[in-house]
Structure formats: structure tokens, C-alpha cells
Amino acid sequence: MAKLYESAISIAALEMFKAALLRYMAGLDFDHLSIGGRLGRRSAHEFKRGEELVGLTSSPIGESEVRIALHSETIDVEKLVLDVLTEGVADFMEPFCNGVTDRNAERVLDSLIVDLRDAFEKVSQITDESP
């Protein structure tokens, strides 16, 4: 089980990831606490549900990049990142389907969204107790 996930990403990617993570964790009834983060400075987010705790920190490594670290003692954070990313992309794509008039294209987009949502396990299924 991965207890730490780190990556260097763009500031734009950080904003999209944070938005997806906030939606994802809120949907699983995690409480959220945020500290710092103004104008590209270091920031920290904590998500807590019962005994489960997930932390996200970001710190600048240049003008347009940040280093993120996601950590937890009870949740496999690499699996969490994968599901947050795929769910986030699906959430991003979904509203665009409303404007598509080509039925074949709409079916393809709908299929992609379903595949993205089913690609990885939900965090509620990837706690330390899972095999």
C-alpha cells in the first residue's frame, strides 16, 4: 500500500487536481481543513473521516510548477490519486456531452465517462483493511 505519492505538476494541474479531490472527498463524507496556499505559496489540506486521515501538501518549485505530496497511514494514496484523476476527468467531460448533437459522438463520450468512473476502486474500498 502506497502511503506517500509525490509528483511535480503545473500550477494549473494543481488547481484542477485540488478541485477534483475536494469533490471526491466531500462525496465520501470526509471533513476538509485547508491551510495557506495564497499566490502559489505552500499549502496544506487535510481530509478526515473517523480514523482515516489524508493530507495533501503543495510547495512551489519554480514559477509555474509545484511539488505535491499526498499521504495517509490508512488509505492507499496512489490508488486514491488514480481514482480522483479519472473521476475528475469524467466530471470535466460530462457537461460537454449536453451540447453534442451527433448521437454517435454522444454515445462515445458517455462510454468514455462510464469507463473512467469504473477504472479504479473508490477510496472507501482501498483502506488499509483491503487485501
Q: Is residue 97 included in any domain, yes or no?
A: yes
Rounded Cα gap, residues 101 and 30, in angstroms: 38
Q: Is residue 44 included in any domain, yes or no?
A: yes
Which phi and psi (to 5°) does residue 63 adopt?
-75, -30
Q: Per-residue confidence at 130, pLDDT binned at 50, 70, 90? A: very low
Q: Using DSSP, state whether 61 is helix, strand or coil.
A: coil
Rounded Cα gap, residues 4 and 69, in angstroms: 7
Q: Is residue 130 included in any domain, yes or no?
A: no
Cα dihedral 91/57/28/72 (nearest 10): 130
Residue 128 pLDDT: 46
Predicted model pTM? 0.83
Q: Is residue 69 included in any domain, yes or no?
A: yes
Q: Is residue 113 included in any domain, yes or no?
A: yes
Q: Is residue 131 included in any domain, yes or no?
A: no
Q: What is the pLDDT of residues 49-80, one digit of tens each?
A: 999 999 999 999 988 899 999 999 999 999 99
Sign of CA dihedral 70, 7, 79, 38: positive
Answer yes or no: is pLDDT of 131 > 50: no
Alpha helices in 28-102 (DSSP H): 77-97
Answer yes or no: is pLDDT of 40 > 70: no
Q: Is residue 10 included in any domain, yes or no?
A: yes
Q: What is the pLDDT of residues 64-122, one digit of tens each?
A: 899 999 999 999 999 999 999 999 999 999 998 888 899 999 899 999 999 998 888 77
Q: How many domains does the chain have?
A: 1
Residue 55 belongs to what domain range? Answer: 4-125
